Amino acid sequence: MPTGHTGESKELRINMRVDAERKAVIARAAHMRHTTISDFVLENAYDAAMEIVADETQITLTQKQFAHLCKVLDIPPAENVKKMRKLLTSKTVLD
């Protein structure tokens, strides 16, 4: 259940169009989960949205990377600016 959900009546509606093949697959999956199509779509869309938001707002570092970041941040500002610029402009595994 979404964080902050109080069980109160739903206030907003989301409308969408879907082709027959996709609706059939979604309906089958909802039936297999013993839920309605609306609840199935909402829960899965919400889970996917939360994952995307988390990916965009959380940074995961190894212990070594975290130690290096802390070390760089502890350097006095004059040196820190140069090293931070290098850190922020260097290619990463995400590029």
| pLDDT value at 6 more than 60 | no
Kindly report the pTM of this predicted structure.
0.52
Neighbours of 20 (CB within 10 A): 7
d(CA 8, CA 2) in angstroms, rounded, equals 13
The rounded radius of gyration (Å) of the Cα atoms in the chain is 22
Above pLDDT 70, what percent of the chain?
A: 88
Q: Which pLDDT belongs to residue 29?
A: 97
Express each pLDDT in 42-83 by its tens digit: 999 999 999 999 888 878 899 999 999 999 888 877 777 888
